Amino acid sequence: MVSFRGTVFFFIVGFAVSTPISKRQAEQSTEEAFSCEGRSPGMYSDHKNCSMYYECVLGHPVYHRACAPGGPVFDEQDQMCDWPENVAPPCGTQRMVTEAPDPFTCEDRAPGLYADLLNCSMYWECVVGHPAYNRPCAPDGLVFNSLLGVCDWPYNVVGTCGTKPDSRDTGDAMTGSGNEMDDAGSGDENTEETVEVFSCDGRAEGLYSDPSDCSMYYHCAAGHPPYHRPCAPGGTVFDEQDQICDWPENVAPPCGTETMPPPFTCADKVPGSYTDPQNCAKFYQCVSGHAEPSHRDCPAGGLVFDAELMICNWPAAVMAPCGYKTE
């Protein structure tokens, strides 16, 4: 009961479709039969399964091997199994730089420091009325931290220049849509506003606490961007007053636990002069009827306060600990 039109239709469709199918089948069969013939020794992607690869070794049959379990895929370019974010598409998600970025210019930028997208250990400086300066983050090993605008150790830097894991929700870089960013936007902006960007502007050369991390400090040196440096590993914290990294028990709060002696008072003392327990070259003077002492300095030149004689004296004449005299 097949109509004339139906027969013609069937015939045409069958003919039209049969050629491409046989062609595809041919392609599939060559793919299935991966061969090392004509290939140099090495490893080759298995295009049907990203976590597998073929290995061609002279005088051996083709090896078909699997990457370690857990998600790595084969990276033919680097000849190794790696995480998808480090591997080019289609097996990985690594983003390719397809065009050289435009050369950096300070036009339309506020004066300041900017990341050099071509070299993590360089940065750009924009100064009004000057062309852009391209400067290195010395010493070797520092990279530019564009969040803080300083040269920093890689483990403090998030993103391609550093190794610090991004604590904020990174989502999936490949599929991150505008909507997701809008949704997360308000919260992220708020946290970023509270990140105070350290600047050496208006500061003397020297070392400064990092308010967000006690084991780090900033170093301001003329003609350099701020350096962001760590104290030695092992638990030391930065002591801005003494300009060193020290054990917490030697550092005042909030970074350390050093307990400060109570302030000197004359309330429980007879009138007279008393050595400043913090500094032998200073003393407190108590006068009758006043709880508040006067805080005075010994004359410069090495004199220390002699509590026995209530005068400033040479250390050789003063009892320890402020002087050397032992009896």
Ligand X SMILES: *[C@@H]1O[C@H](CO)[C@@H](O)[C@H](O)[C@H]1NC(C)=O
Scored b (16 or more CB within 10 A) or e, 111-129 reads eebbbbbeebbbbbebeee
* Binder of ligand X out of 34, 36, 45, 51 (CB under 6 A): 51
Phi-psi region of 223 (alpha: psi -120 to 50; beta: other; left: phi over 0): left
The amino acid present at 127, given as its one-letter code, is V
Tell me how long the chain is. 327
Shortest spacing between CB 102 and ligand X, in angstroms: 18
Residues in contact with ligand X, counted by CB under 6 A, come to a total of 8
Q: Which is nearer to ligand X, 52 or 311 (CB)?
A: 52
Token look-up 């046989």 returns 22
Does position 104 interact with ligand X (CB under 6 A)? The reply is no
* Binder of ligand X out of 86, 93, 121, 215 (CB under 6 A): 121
Does position 49 interact with ligand X (CB under 6 A)? The reply is yes
Q: Which is nearer to ligand X, 114 or 314 (CB)?
A: 114
Shortest spacing between CB 128 and ligand X, in angstroms: 25
Instruction: Extract the tokens encoding 311.
Output: 């005068």
Of 154, 113, 150, 151, the closest CA to residue 134 belongs to 113
Query: Which of helix, strand or coil describes residue 112?
Result: strand
Does position 279 interact with ligand X (CB under 6 A)? The reply is no
Shortest spacing between CB 182 and ligand X, in angstroms: 35
The amino acid present at 23, given as its one-letter code, is K
Question: Please, which of residues 65-94 interact with ligand X by CB under 6 A?
Answer: 66
Does position 154 interact with ligand X (CB under 6 A)? The reply is no
Scored b (16 or more CB within 10 A) or e, 137-171 reads beeeebbbbbbbbbbbbeebbbeebbebeeeeeee
Q: Which is nearer to ligand X, 64 or 295 (CB)?
A: 64
Does position 199 interact with ligand X (CB under 6 A)? The reply is no
Shortest spacing between CB 117 and ligand X, in angstroms: 12
Shortest spacing between CB 134 and ligand X, in angstroms: 9
Does position 117 interact with ligand X (CB under 6 A)? The reply is no
Please give the helix or strand (H or E) that residue 6 lies within, else none.
helix 4-32
Shortest spacing between CB 119 and ligand X, in angstroms: 4
What residues line the site for ligand X (CB under 6 A)?
A: 49, 51-52, 66, 119, 121-122, 136
